[in-house]
Structure 1
Amino acid sequence: MPNVLPAPKEALARALAMMVAANGRIDVKELDVLDTLGAFGRVGVSRERFIDIACDCVAEVGAYLCDRSWLSVDHVRYLNTLLDAVTDTQDRLLLCRLAAAVITADGQVSQDERLVYDHALARWRIRQSDVSRAILADPVN
């Protein structure tokens, strides 16, 4: 698994793309939800560039998360690299808010999506109640 350091300007997009790629595919419903929330502009990339980044994430790790019910050490390292590149607390909360919308877009949360989302919350020390408040406070609902 490559040790990819995201370009600073794409750090938010790359972390969110990993949430989309967690279940090993890019679902149109997830992209539509992100469109509705204006997510691509909020993370600083076009929809097309976001899809390219998400495809990279699927190729690098997403398809392999489905193999087990826990994150391997290599996956944790990869995720931590993506997550640690996002240093601003408000950006982290925004990403968790957007990720919550992504993982529920198709009406069910897969084990892989839950693993990645929960890891992000734990890594960034963000509580689910913080995410709920961010969703309620988001002017784009």
Structure 2
Amino acid sequence: MKRYEHNSPEAIARIIAMMIVTDAEVHPGEIDILETLNAYDVIGLTKEQFTQVFHDYLADISDEQDEEGNVHLVSTERLNHMLDDVTDPKKRLLTAAILLDVTKSDHELQEIEIAVFQHILKHWHLSLDDIEASIQAL
């Protein structure tokens, strides 16, 4: 898997890309919400740079296919590795807030999305209250 610097915009973008493909579908609303939230500027990338990170992530997970050619969209080991690349508490809160909006954007929360989001919160020692408080502080 491609390596990014800790707390880099690319490390954050890769986590967002992972969440977008978690349910095996890329919904237009999940991409549109990034523009609505001004997420590209907020995390420090252009839309084109985000798209490159997204494509790189898809290439990385396809490289990990098993003997039968199956690609595992969700891997706890991969997820933890990506989450460990974001150590700054403010960037974790920012990323979690964006992820929450991305998962809600298609108006269909899938069980896998909920499970992955809960795992992220647990791994980063965050709660929904933490996210809400950080948004209200803006």
Q: Tell me if both proteins adopt one fold, taking TM over 0.5 as the criterion.
A: yes
**What CA distance in whole angstroms lies between the structure 1 residues aligned with 2:48 and 2:40?**
9
TM-score (norm 2): 0.79
Aligned twin of 2:29: 29
Q: Bigger radius of gyration, 1 or 2?
A: 2
Aligned twin of 1:86: 86
Return the offset for 1:51: 2.5
Q: Is the 8 A contact 1:20 1:103 kept in 2?
A: yes
Q: Secondary structure at the match of 1:106?
A: coil
Q: Is the 8 A contact 2:2 2:56 kept in 1?
A: no
Q: How does 1:21-60 map to 2 (within 5 A)?
A: 21-60=21-60
Aligned twin of 1:107: 107
Please list every run of 5 or more consecutive structure 2 residues that lacks an aligned counterpart in the other structure.
63-70
Deviations along 1:73-103, one digit per CA (max 9) or x if unpaired, are xx11101111110010000000010000000
1:5 to 3, 10, 19: 3
**What CA distance in whole angstroms lies between the structure 2 residues aligned with 1:131 and 1:52?**
27
Q: Is the 8 A contact 1:121 1:127 kept in 2?
A: yes
The one-letter code matched in structure 2 to 1:121 is L
Q: Is the 8 A contact 2:14 2:53 kept in 1?
A: yes
Aligned twin of 1:68: none
Return the offset for 1:59: 4.7
**What CA distance in whole angstroms lies between the structure 1 residues aligned with 2:55 and 2:136?**
30
**What CA distance in whole angstroms lies between the structure 1 residues aligned with 2:114 and 2:77?**
17
Distance 1:118 1:20, change over 3 A: same
Return the offset for 1:60: 4.1
Q: Is the 8 A contact 1:83 1:120 kept in 2?
A: yes
Q: Is the 8 A contact 1:21 1:57 kept in 2?
A: no
Q: Is the 8 A contact 2:2 2:60 kept in 1?
A: no
Please list every run of 5 or more consecutive structure 1 residues that lacks an aligned counterpart in the other structure.
66-70
Distance 1:86 1:100, change over 3 A: same
Return the offset for 1:61: 4.2
Q: Is the 8 A contact 1:22 1:58 kept in 2?
A: no
Distance 1:59 1:119, change over 3 A: farther
- Percent identity reads 30
**What CA distance in whole angstroms lies between the structure 2 residues aligned with 1:18 and 1:104?**
15
